[in-house]
C-alpha cells in the first residue's frame, strides 16, 4: 500500500463541455488546473484513481534546485518561488519549508563535478556553495564519519507529498475548477485533425484543449492516439520512520537519501539504485534510451516483475466505448524493493547510530516516469493540435511541479510561456538533436 494521502471531496457533476481538460491528478495536473482556474479559464481535471495516488505522493518530498540539469534551472527557480507562497495560495499546510539540500562528496572527482555545477548555477543567484570541514559537519550533526565536501543550496526546501497535490486540487476547486476522481479518460476525440473532446468512462467532455499529465501512463495513452512518446517506468522504493532526532537538511549520498518530515520522522531511500521492469517499451524505445542505460548501468537493475507481465498482456489500443487499461488498473501500487530499502536503512544506521532502533512505520514503491535524457516533456503534441503533454519528470517532478504545471497550462491556452519551453519539446528525440544527459551530481 502507498502512503496515506489527504483526501478531497470530488465534484459529482461532469459538464458536457469546458475550455480545457487536464488528465491526471498529480502535482503537475493539479497545478495546471489551479493556474487555469486562477486565470478564469473553465477547466475540468479527470483522475482515474484519487488525487496524488501515484508518484506525486510517493516521492521523497524534496523541492530542490541542487543538481538540476541546466535546462531545468529557469523552471525550478520559478517553482521554488511558487512553493514559498504555496501555503497562502492553497490556504492549506503543504508542509513546505526551506531546509536546504546537500549533496555529499567523497573524492576530488565529486568536488570537480560540484564546482562545475556551481559555475553553471551562478547566474541564478540561489546561494549555492561548496562546503567542507566544520560547515559540512554542521549540516550533518552527529554523523559518524567526515566527508571531503558537499554541494549545498540553502534556498532549497521540502514539502509533504501526501498533502501538497490535494491542497492544490482543493484550491483549484475554490477557484472554479471541476475535479473528477475515479473518472478515467479513455482517449481523445478529434475534429478536423485536432482535439475536440475527451471520452471518459462517464461520458464525453467537449473541450478546446487537453493537458496530458498522466505520469507513468502517458506513453500508453499516446500509443492509443498513434503517437510515439519515448518514456519508461522505473521503480522507486521508499520508507518512513517514526520520530527520531537527526539532521535537518535534505541530504543525498549514493547509499542513502534522507529528508526530515514534519512529523519528526524521516523519509529514507537508496540514493543510487532503481529497478526497471522489463516491458515491451524497453525494446520499443531502446534506441532512445541506450545512452542512459550505458551511463546508469551501475545503479539500474532490470527485472521481470508483475508489471512486466501486466504490460506484455495489456493492449496498446482500445475502442473508446469500452473499458480502457486505465480502468483495469486505477492505481500503480507496486511492492517496494525491500533489499534496496534494507541497504538504505543500514547506511543510515552506520552514518547516524541513533537510527539503530528506529521503528519503520511504512515502506512503499512507486513508478517514476522517465525520459531518455532524464528531462521532462512539457510540450504541444505536434501531430495532434490541442494536446499539451507534461510528463516524464524522471524522479524530480515534485519540486518542479508547480512551475511545470503552470507552463503546461500556458501552452495549452496560448498564453505567453513563463519560461522557454523549447528544451522540453517532445520532438527532441526525432528532430536530429543529440541526446544530452543531465549532470551526474
| DSSP state at residue 357 | T
| Comparison of pLDDT for 111 and 293, the residue scoring more | 111
Handedness of CA 78, 80, 81, 86 (dihedral sign): positive
Q: Checking DSSP bridges between strand 157-158 and strand 185-191, what pairing results, if any?
A: unpaired
Mean pLDDT confidence for 353-359 = 96
Q: For residue 29, give the nearest of 6, 57, 9, 1 by alpha carbon.
A: 57
Question: For the residues of 39-106, what is the DSSP string, one character each?
Answer: TT--EEEE-SS-TT-SHHHHS--EE--TT--GGGHHHHHHHHHHHHTHHHHHTS----EE--EEEEE-
Task: Work out the burial of residue 318: count CB atoms within 10 Å of its CB; fewer than 13 is exposed, 13-18 middle, 19 or more buried.
Answer: middle
User: Rounded mean pLDDT of 353-380?
Assistant: 96
Q: Render pLDDT for 10-41 as a digit per residue (tens, 0 to 9).
A: 999 999 999 999 999 999 999 999 999 999 99
In the chain, DSSP finds a helix count (H) and a strand count (E) of: 14, 22
Q: What is the pTM of this model?
A: 0.96
CA dist., res. 250 & res. 152, Å (int): 10
Residue 246 in grid coordinates? 537527526
**Can you tell me which residue has the cell 540553502?**
154
Instruction: Find the mean pLDDT for residues 427-432.
Output: 90
- Residue 435: per-residue pLDDT: 80
* DSSP annotation of 243: -
If you count them, how many residues does the chain have?
441
Q: What is the mean pLDDT of residues 146-162?
A: 97
For residue 426, give the 3-state DSSP assignment.
Answer: helix
84: left (phi over 0), alpha (psi -120 to 50) or beta: alpha
Beta strand pairing status for 20-23 and 43-46? parallel
Q: Are strands 185-191 and 194-200 parallel, antiparallel or unpaired?
A: antiparallel
- What pLDDT does 275 receive? 87
Distant-in-sequence, close-in-space partners of 93: CB < 8 Å, separation ≥ 6 = 87, 163, 167
**Is 323's pLDDT higher than 70?**
yes
Give the pLDDT confidence of 202-256 residue by residue, as tens digits: 999 999 999 999 999 999 999 999 999 999 999 999 999 999 999 999 999 999 9
Q: How high is the pLDDT of residue 392?
A: 97
Q: Which three cell numbers stand for residue 301?
A: 537493475
Q: What is the pLDDT of residue 440?
A: 60
Q: What is the pLDDT of residue 297?
A: 73
Please give the average per-residue pLDDT across 92-109, as a whole number. Answer: 96
Q: CA–CA separation, 32 vs 51, rounded Å? A: 14
Give residue-wise pLDDT tens across range 392-428.
Answer: 999 999 999 999 999 999 999 999 999 999 999 999 9
DSSP conformational letter for 124: G
pLDDT tens track for 268-321: 999 987 889 999 999 999 999 988 888 777 777 888 988 999 999 999 999 999
Residue 169: CA count within 13 A, CB half-sphere: 34
Q: DSSP string spanning 101-114?
A: EEEEE-SHHHHHHH
Report how far residue 79's alpha carbon sits from residue 224's, in angstroms, rounded to the nearest whole number: 32
Q: Are strands 387-391 and 209-212 parallel, antiparallel or unpaired?
A: parallel
d(CA 359, CA 245) in angstroms, rounded, equals: 13
String of b and e for 391-427 (b: at least 16 CB within 10 Å)? bbbbbbbbbbbbbbbbbbbbbbbeeeeebebebbbbe
pLDDT of residue 116: 96
Is residue 128 scored above 90 in pLDDT?
A: yes
Q: What is the mean pLDDT of residues 87-97?
A: 97
The candidate with the shortest Cα–Cα distance to 392, out of 181, 198, 231, 188, is 231
Q: How far is 376 from 370, CA to CA, in rounded Å?
A: 8
- % of the chain at pLDDT higher than 70: 99
Q: Is the pLDDT of residue 441 over 90?
A: no
Amino acid at each position: 500500500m502507498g502512503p496515506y494521502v489527504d483526501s478531497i471531496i470530488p465534484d459529482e457533476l461532469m459538464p458536457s463541455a469546458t475550455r480545457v481538460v487536464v488528465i491526471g491528478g498529480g502535482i503537475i495536473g493539479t497545478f495546471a488546473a489551479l493556474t487555469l482556474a486562477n486565470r478564469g479559464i473553465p477547466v475540468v481535471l479527470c483522475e482515474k484513481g484519487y488525487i496524488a495516488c501515484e508518484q506525486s505522493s510517493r516521492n521523497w518530498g524534496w523541492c530542490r534546485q541542487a543538481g538540476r540539469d541546466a535546462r531545468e534551472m529557469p523552471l525550478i527557480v520559478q517553482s521554488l518561488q511558487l512553493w514559498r507562497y504555496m501555503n497562502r495560495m492553497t490556504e492549506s499546510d503543504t508542509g513546505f519549508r526551506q531546509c536546504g539540500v546537500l549533496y555529499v562528496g567523497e573524492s576530488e572527482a565529486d568536488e570537480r563535478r560540484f564546482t562545475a555545477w556551481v559555475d553553471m548555477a551562478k547566474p541564478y543567484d540561489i546561494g549555492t556553495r561548496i562546503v567542507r570541514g566544520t560547515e559540512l559537519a554542521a549540516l550533518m550533526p552527529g554523523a559518524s564519519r567526515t566527508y571531503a565536501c558537499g554541494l549545498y543550496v540553502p534556498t532549497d526546501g521540502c514539502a509533504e507529498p501526501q498533502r501538497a497535490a490535494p491542497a492544490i486540487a482543493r484550491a483549484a476547486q475554490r477557484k472554479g475548477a471541476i475535479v473528477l476522481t475515479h473518472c478515467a479518460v479513455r482517449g481523445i476525440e478529434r475534429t478536423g485533425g485536432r482535439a475536440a473532446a475527451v471520452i471518459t468512462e462517464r461520458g464525453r467532455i467537449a473541450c478546446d484543449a487537453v493537458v496530458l499529465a498522466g505520469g507513468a501512463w502517458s506513453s500508453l495513452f499516446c500509443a492509443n492516439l498513434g503517437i510515439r512518446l519515448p518514456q519508461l517506468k522505473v521503480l522507486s522504493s521508499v520508507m518512513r520512520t517514526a520520530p527520531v532526532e537527526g539532521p535537518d537538511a535534505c541530504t543525498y549520498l549514493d547509499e542513502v537519501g534522507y529528508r526530515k518530515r514534519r512529523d519528526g520522522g524521516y523519509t529514507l531511500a537508496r540514493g543510487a539504485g532503481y529497478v526497471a521492469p522489463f516491458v515491451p517499451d524497453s525494446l520499443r524505445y531502446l534506441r532512445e534510451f541506450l545512452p542512459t542505460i550505458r551511463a546508469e548501468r551501475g545503479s539500474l537493475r532490470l527485472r521481470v516483475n508483475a508489471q512486466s507481465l501486466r504490460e506484455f498482456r495489456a493492449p496498446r489500443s482500445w475502442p473508446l466505448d469500452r473499458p480502457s487499461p486505465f480502468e483495469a488498473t486505477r492505481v500503480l501500487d507496486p511492492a517496494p524493493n525491500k533489499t534496496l530499502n534494507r541497504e538504505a536503512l543500514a547506511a543510515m544506521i552506520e552514518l547516524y547510530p541513533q537510527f539503530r532502533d528506529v521503528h519503520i512505520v511504512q515502506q512503499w514503491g512507486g513508478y517514476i516516469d522517465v525520459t531518455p535524457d532524464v528531462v521532462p516533456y512539457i510540450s504541444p503534441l505536434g501531430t495532434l493540435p490541442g494536446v499539451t503533454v507534461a510528463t516524464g519528470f524522471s524522479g524530480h517532478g515534485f519540486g518542479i511541479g508547480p512551475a511545470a504545471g503552470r507552463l503546461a497550462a500556458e501552452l495549452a491556452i496560448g498564453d505567453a510561456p513563463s519560461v522557454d519551453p523549447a528544451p522540453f519539446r517532445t520532438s527532441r528525440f526525432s528532430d536530429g538533436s543529440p541526446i544530452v544527459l543531465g549532470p551526474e551530481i
